[in-house]
Structure 1
Amino acid sequence: MERTSRTRRGTPPRGLRRPGAPVVAAVVALGVTGCSWFGGDGTTSTQVLELDVGDCVVTPEEVQAELTDVSTVPCDTTHQMEVYALVPDALDGPDAYPGADALTAFADGACAERFADYVGVDYRDSALFFTYLLPSTRGWSEGDTTVTCLATTTGEPLTASVAGSER
Structure 2
Amino acid sequence: MHVGRSTPRALVRATVGVLVVAVCAGCSFFDRGDDTEGRSVFDVKVGECFRAPKDITVELTELAQVPCTDPHEQEAYALVDYEDTAATAKASGAASFPGVEALTAFAQGACAQEFEDYVGVDYRDSRLWFTYLLPSARGWEQDADRTTLCFVTTTGEQLTRSVAGTGW
TM-score (norm 1): 0.80
What pairs with 1:44-55 in structure 2 (closer than 5 Å)? 44-55=37-48
**1:67 aligned partner:** 60
Structure 1 unaligned residues grouped into runs of 5+ = 18-24, 28-35
Q: Which residue of 2 aligns with 1:148?
A: 149
Deviation at 1:12, TM superposition (A): 2.3
Q: Name the CA distance, whole Å, in 1 between partners of 2:10 and 2:75.
A: 15
- Give runs of ≥4 in structure 1 deviating > 6 Å: none
1:116 paired to 2:116: yes
Q: CA RMSD in A?
A: 2.3
Equivalent residue number for residue 100 of structure 2: 100
Q: Does 1:79 align with 2:77?
A: no
Which residue identity lines up with residue 130 of structure 2 in the other structure?
F
Normalising by the residue count of structure 2, what TM-score does the alignment of the two structures yield? 0.80
- Equivalent-residue separation in structure 2 for 1:37 and 1:50 (angstroms): 17
Q: Counterpart of 1:33?
A: none
Aligned residues: 149
Distance in 2, matches of 1:114 and 1:151, equals 11
What amino acid is aligned across from residue 162 of structure 1 in structure 2?
Answer: V
Separation of aligned partners in 1, 2:96 and 2:103:
12
Percentage identity across aligned positions?
46
* SS of corresponding position for 1:114: helix
Q: CA deviation at 1:135?
A: 0.5
Q: Helix, strand or coil for the counterpart of 2:38?
A: strand
